Structure 1
């Protein structure tokens, strides 16, 4: 996947590259997993993962699992956490900042094999993720499956991990960040950029072209204002557990809102920086505890 390395680094181009690479990976993984065939071939649903399908951030759950297995030191985990803070707090101001923070944050996979990380993802899903799926969102996904439609996750999480989550939930597949690999070994670099913001919309459009979907008949779900490009790319947009900015956009555009949280928890989760800080604190604590043991 190193063929993109020499290309220009403009934000729009990187988002396009990331989206197309994610769609290609999703299609390949879908064929390998052989999900149940769809009956309604032109309609589908796209679900964000973090705080939409799953409570908290999937990449932090994964990092905690890796820390418990001593794949990196507490200082490595702290560095990863710091990069995520930079992304959460300052990412909106600079597209270069988004890419640099996320790419540095994912550098911990460098040198590990795709097969190894995939096997770990299976274990960590069972340990730290399975009980964090929002039942209400899972029901929405099942509604589309029952209607004979295909359902994909769309997330900044590495595509291999995203595919595990999708398979465990009985979904069609997943669009996720594509990490560069050479001969089955991760380099620690990204293909394009993180699947975030506009890149998600590019991925959805690219997959729709490959799968023959009519985006006007498709539905997208997310909790974050950062996913407005993806939500705007389909015929029906639904804000799930929305942050305050997305709630305002949904009200302005007449989008549906589904909130599966209760009072105080909803208010707390609605602030992106607080989500990031809480997840980071948990990840660092887990890493330190693992190291002490």
Structure 2
């Protein structure tokens, strides 16, 4: 008698169907695994992205925009808030600074008219004050208004370059004194920024050259690369603003950080990498950057002034 002989015909039929179902399920599972393994074996290997930043590459460096890239908002507006607290100017000027900062944070882009107005306001405010005084106050203002506004994600990117043994620079239209304080507090190599004229250590209320903005940033990076023996094709640059496309375009590893609409579109078209820390979403990567055209040309007036200021 078979193993199922003692069962009634109906029970034998049900049991047989169960056995068949189990065997069929097991066979299907084995077949699925085998097919998947075959597909994986036949699939071409994915290109492995090279390690970046490259550890020990002394001819590479990273250049970071400041406003809305490393820090929420604009440094010059935070500076204005701190100066008002110390009675450098009156409520009318504070209202203008507040409006400019609100507009900047809502729009998420740099408007040249707003930035120029803020710059002129700041220059008039510091006129007649000592550079050493503003540096000391700048340290306090960093602790009061800026430290908590540093983007952790961007800070981690900068640290990755530092950990790889590379130099990291801020490149910003903010006053070079403010940029230098922020760079030092973050443990970065240094900063390129807009230089306000001073005579005998006292601000005159005028600029030396022009604001370090737009194409001037690219010239500053070129000048610094030439002076420091850097290969721009191995360097990285990070910014949120389409105004910095010239700077991003001269390095081999451009990143769009918290990008405005125009920069986001340009980054996608060029295959640049993208990081957005504004909503807490996991950073998204858009393509792998191709090496951009590079050169070690002497910089323009703004770049020369910035490099000279850094070495004084």
If the length of structure 2 is used for normalisation, what is the TM-score? 0.66
The answer as to 2:198 corresponding to 1:181 is yes
- Match of 1:53, SS? coil
Alignment counterpart, residue 120 of structure 2, candidates 77, 81, 104:
104
Contact 1:84 1:102 in 2 (8 A): no
- CA deviation map 1:120-178 (0-9, x unaligned): 00001011111111000000000000111000011111001100000000000001101
Taking only aligned residues, the RMSD between alpha carbons, in angstroms, comes to 2.5
Q: Is the 8 A contact 1:103 1:189 kept in 2?
A: no
1:55 match:
72
Q: Alignment partner for residue 169 of structure 1, among 186, 210, 213?
A: 186
Q: Please tell me whether the aligned partners of residues 81 and 105 of structure 1 are also in contact (alpha carbons under 8 angstroms).
A: no
Unmatched 5+ residue regions in structure 2? 1-54, 282-312
The alignment covers a number of residue pairs equal to: 223
Query: 1:261 aligned to 2:261?
Result: no
Mapping 1:5-84, distance limit 5 Å? 39-78=56-95
Structure 2 counterpart SS, 1:54: coil
Q: Mapping of 1:1-293 within 5 angstroms? A: 39-78=56-95, 101=117, 103-106=119-122, 107-262=124-279
How far apart are 1:40 and its partner, in Å?
3.1
Alpha-carbon separation, structure 2, partners of 1:201 and 1:134: 23
Q: Distance in 1 between the 2:155 and 2:239 partners?
A: 13
Distance 2:145 2:175 in 1: 17
Greater share of helix: 1
How high is the TM-score relative to the length of structure 1?
A: 0.70
Query: What is the distance in 2 between the residues matched to 1:91 and 1:55?
Result: 16
Instruction: Please give the per-residue CA displacement for 1:223-260, whole angstroms capped at 9, x wherever unaligned.
Output: 00010011011111000011111000000111000011
Counterpart Cα distance in 1 of 2:240 and 2:115: 21
Structure of greater Rg:
2
Q: Secondary structure of the equivalent of 2:62?
A: strand
